[in-house]
Amino acid sequence: MIILGVVQRVARLWCGHNMKNITYNSAFVPQGAPASETYEAVTLGAGVQWHEAYAAVNNYGRLMVGGSSAGGSVGSSGGWLAGGGHSALSPNYGLGVDNALEMSVVLSSGKFLTVNRYQSSDLFWALRGGGGSTYGIVTSVTYRTYPSVPTQLYTYQANITNTSAAVELVGGLLRFQTQFTDDGWGGYGFISAQQISFFIFGPNMTNETAMTSTQAWHNFSASLTPFGVVATDKIYYAPSWYLLYQLIFSGGVENGQNVMITNRLLSRDSVATKYAELAEILVNCTASFNMVAGGKVSQINPDSAGLNPAWRKAVTETVCGVSWDEGTSSVDIEGIISQLKGWIKATYDLTPNDGAYFNEASLFEINWQETFFGSHYATLKSIKDKYDPYRLFVVAEGVGSEEWNADLTCRY
C-alpha cells in the first residue's frame, strides 16, 4: 500500500495484487486521438502479472510483448515498463515502451491523469523508460497486441573441457548476436567455463528459415569440437508462442536471496570489435545474456520514448552477478562486492558508450545518469520537476535522486 498525503488530501492506492482488471478492446482509440486511430489492445490494471496478461490475450488469438520469469510473476504495469520492458519478443515487436499506448497515473498532487501521445505527452514519454518510482503511480497501462503466430524454438547447449575454448565460443556467440536478433530471434542464455546454453524464439518463422538462420552458428560451434566443445542443438515448432511460454516459464517460483547484479547493453560495434575481451569477462563472471534487443528495437527512433537511447544500438544485454549465503561475514561480503565492482569497471572501460538497463543494474554503475538514461537525462529531469513538484517520488540513482542524500532520507 502506498499512502499519499498532499495538500490535506489522502489517497490510498492498493496496487500489488489487487488491481487485476484486464480489458480487451479490438478497436481501442487512445483518448484525444482521431477516431480512425484504432488498435487491438488490452488494458491491464497495475496488479496484473504477465502470466495473467498472456493467458487473457491468448483467449482472443493474440500475443503481446511482456516480461518472462519463473511462474510469470513480474508485474505488467510497474517497474518493468518504467525501465524499458525487454522481452524475448522484442526483436520482432519492440520493447514494452514501444507497445504502450496509454497509461493512467496518479501524481504527487493527487491528480489523476490519462496520458498518451495526445495528452500529457511529455509525461507519457518519460513514463516509458525514464525509470520507476519517479514521476507518479501508474494504475493501468494499455498495450498493443498482435495476432498469435506459429513459433520456432532453437535450443543450444555446449559442454566445454577448457576455459580457452569457452572464451572462443562466447566470443563467437557475441559476434552472432547481431545476426540472430536482426533475423527475429529472441531469448535467453547462460555462460560458464564448463557449459554454454541458450534458447531463442522465432515468431512467425518457417522451419526452413530457422535452419538457414542458425546454420552458420552451428558450423562455427562444430569447428571448435577438436578444442573441447561438444554441442547439441535442435529446432522445435509450436503453433503459438504462448504454448512455448507455458512450457518454459509456467512452473517454479522466485524466492528472495542475497544477490547483486550488473548488466551492459552491448552495441553492434562492441560485439563486432570487443568480443574477445568481453568474452573473457563473461566466462569469468558466469554470465547470463538476454537476446532482447536488435531487430525491431533498433529500428525505432531513439527519441520516441524516455528510454535510454543505448537500447537502440544494442543487440544483447549481458548480466554478471554475485551472491552470498545468510551468515556470511561483512568482510567476505565486501570482497564479493569488490569482485562485482571489478567486472563493472572492466565492461565500462571496454564499452563506455553502451549503457545499462536500469532494472537489472548495480548501484555501483559508473556515471549512472549517462549509463541509465543517456542523452535523455536533462529532459527527464525537467518532466520530473513539472509533474512531481513536491519531490515525493524518489529511487536510488533515479531521475532527480542527486538532490537527496545517499540514504534518500533528506533532500538538499
- pLDDT class for 64, splitting at 50, 70, 90? very high
**Burial of 316 (C-beta count, 10 Å sphere; 0-12/13-18/19+):** buried
Reported as a single tens digit per residue, the pLDDT across 248-268 is 998 766 678 899 999 999 999
Looking at this protein, which amino acid is placed at residue 141?
A: V
Q: For position 10, what pLDDT does the model report?
A: 40
Residue 412 has pLDDT above 90, yes or no: no
d(CA 158, CA 222): 10
DSSP-derived secondary structure for 78-104? SHHHHHT---TTHHHH--HHHHEEEEE
pLDDT digits (tens, 9 = 90+) for 98-115: 999 999 999 999 999 999
CB of 108 closer than 8 Å to CB of 389: yes
CB 22 within 8 A of CB 53: yes
d(CA 344, CA 261): 9
Q: Is the pLDDT of residue 9 over 50?
A: no
Tell me the H-state helices in 224-329.
241-249, 268-273, 275-284, 296-299
The domain made up of 13-147 has a fold known as 3.30.465
Exposure class string for 180-205: b at 16+ Cβ within 10 A, else e = bbbbbbbbbbebbbeebbbbbbbbeb
pTM equals: 0.95
164-196 tens-digit pLDDT: 999 999 999 999 999 999 999 999 999 999 999
Q: Give the C-alpha distances (Å, rounded to integers) separating 14 from 1, 4, 29, 309.
A: 5, 12, 27, 33
Give the CA distances from residue 44 to residues 147, 250, 378, in Å, rounded to whole numbers and listed in that order. 18, 20, 30
53 dihedral zone (left: phi>0; alpha: psi -120 to 50; beta):
alpha
- Dihedral sign (CA 175, 178, 184, 188): positive
pLDDT at residue number 255: 72
Mean pLDDT of 215-239: 98
pLDDT digits (tens, 9 = 90+) for 111-125: 999 999 999 999 999
Nearest to 229 by CA among 316, 153, 171, 290: 171
What is the average pLDDT score of the chain? 94
